[in-house]
Amino acid sequence: MGMFDKMKEAKNMYSNIKKAQNEINKIKVEGVSGAGAVRVVVKGNHQIVSISIDEEASKGNKKILEDYIVAACNDAMNKLEKETKEKMGSVMNLPGGMKLPF
């Protein structure tokens, strides 16, 4: 493979990565805990968009509510990681199940 081919391949890879980043930025996932008592929405860039707390849960034990918030955030982050890997794999044309370093 010549130098021109390698440069073309690198340009294509960069283009695919940019495309994947744009797709990831569009992702929004919802994490839930406490049987729906707490809901957290997270964007593809890992920013929390919203947190919703059920009226009853907000009146309950503070420690339990804190645990629900943490659990909902972790649920959302796990879903985001899974969706991000799927998007990156499809845009980068990687075989299913292949792990990415990010």
In a domain, 13, yes or no: no
For residue 41, give the CATH number of its domain: 3.30.1310.10
Number of domains in the chain: 1
Please name which of 69, 15, 21 lies closest in space to residue 45, comparing C-alpha atoms. 21
Which tens digits make up the pLDDT trace of 43-97? Answer: 999 999 999 999 999 998 999 999 999 999 999 999 999 998 887 776 666 555 5
pTM across the whole model: 0.75
In a domain, 41, yes or no: yes
Residue 22 has pLDDT above 90, yes or no: no
Q: What is the pLDDT of residue 102?
A: 46
Task: Tell me 12's DSSP state.
Answer: H
State which residues form the domain around 58.
Answer: 24-83
In a domain, 88, yes or no: no
